[in-house]
Amino acid sequence: MALAVGTQAPDFNVKDTNGNAVTLAGLAGKKVVMYFYPKDDTPGCTKQACSFRDNYAVYQDKGIVILGVSKDSESDHQAFTKKFDLPFPLLADINGEIIAAYDVDGGGYAKRVTYAIDETGKIVHVDSSVKTDTHANDVLKALGY
């Protein structure tokens, strides 16, 4: 079961698409949408990532950081990012530590769950009924944008 709204989001320290270390603490003061997904370059995951890509300017205008999280490696993330021109980082949770902390373990992969986290690190929205092709718009609507 996903973490509840109002919960303090667990911190993490993991590498992104380009090998840069990313922590939630390092994003303090920013709104974050962190979406978990099963696997790079699969049909549903591609639709979901492209939904965020196509709405990236709106997220930037609202000051929202987008992070995609799966168990794929940095090199898999690099290929996926390049193939679909993704403008936001993907986190390589190879050991599944973030997936476990956010309670989205699907048994070897991440369940499709999205968390919106406010500037103080509190979870303000959870979406576990993701429609991959409209997901980015659905999250914006849920956040009141």
Point out the residues that are catalytic: 45
DSSP β-bridge partners for residue 22 = 14
Reported as half-sphere exposure (CB side, CA atoms, 13 A), residue 87 has a value of 11
Q: What spatial distance separates the first Cα and last Cα of the chain, rounded to whole Å?
A: 27
Measure the CA–CA gap between 127 and 37, rounded to whole angstroms: 12
- Reading the block at residue 77, the tokens are 């993330």
Question: In this structure, are residues 142 and 125 in contact, taking their beta carbons and an 8 Å threshold?
Answer: yes
Phi, psi of 48 (to 5 degrees): -65, -50
